[in-house]
Amino acid sequence: MGEIEKLAQSLSLGEPVTVGQEMAGIIGFILRSVPEGDRLAALENLRSRLIELNAAEISAKTAPPSAAIGQSITFVKTLLNGLPYNYIKTVLDTTVRSLM
């Protein structure tokens, strides 16, 4: 992927500060599944790991567009693991309808 394509892709995500804030919101939502007493330590661990990520390395990697589907499914499963069947079914049905 060329630099122009990378720039176009990043612009389609929106302003980087806004994207970072939205990602933090999603991460916070996911971390709700961590017991409250362990959440602060988990958050600090996550912050440390995010700081250690190499932006240049991430920028150099590409993934096929189909990878987004697998990542989305993994995200949904991660959020819903261990919840009651009826709750999961309602969330999935609502998500499917909302994507149309």
Counting runs of H as helices and runs of E as strands, what totals does the chain give? 6, 0
20-38 tens-digit pLDDT: 888 899 899 889 889 999 9
DSSP letter assigned to residue 83: S
What is the rounded distance in angstroms from the CA atom of residue 84 to the CA atom of residue 77? Answer: 13
What mean pLDDT do residues 30-58 have?
Answer: 93
Note the pTM of the prediction, 2 decimals.
Answer: 0.71
Domain segments of the chain as ranges: 1-62, 64-100
At 73 the pLDDT is 94
Q: Is the pLDDT of residue 72 over 80?
A: yes
User: What is the three-class DSSP state of 72?
Assistant: helix
Q: What single DSSP character describes residue 64?
A: -
